[in-house]
Amino acid sequence: SVLVYFDVGGFGVGSEITWQAAVTANYPATDNLFLSFGYRYLYLEYRDGRRVFEGAMTGPVIGATWRF
């Protein structure tokens, strides 16, 4: 299966704005174990008086889900 994820946050609470998007392909290795491989983009803008941080992190993601 394929999972597409997107969220937006911040709005002046902790950060001005933050958002992320991810796409993963999920493979059922066993009946209970699923492996995920994908890509994620995360953006953050933070302001505290005169200090400003604006940046992004991107790259591959891997994960595992154990269902019981």
Bridge partners, residue 30, by sequence? none
pLDDT at 51: 87
Strand runs (DSSP E) across 1-68, as ranges? Answer: 2-13, 15-28, 33-48, 51-66
pLDDT at 49: 81
pLDDT at 58: 98
C-alpha dist (Å) from residue 54 to 6, 24, 46, 47: 19, 26, 6, 9
C-alpha atoms less than 13 angstroms from C-alpha of 37 in its C-beta half-sphere: 3
pLDDT at 26: 96
pLDDT at 56: 97
Domain ranges of the chain: 2-66
pLDDT in tens, the chain (68 residues): 999 999 999 877 777 889 999 999 999 999 999 999 999 999 999 888 888 899 999 999 999 999 99
C-alpha dist (Å) from residue 10 to 3, 40, 43: 24, 18, 11
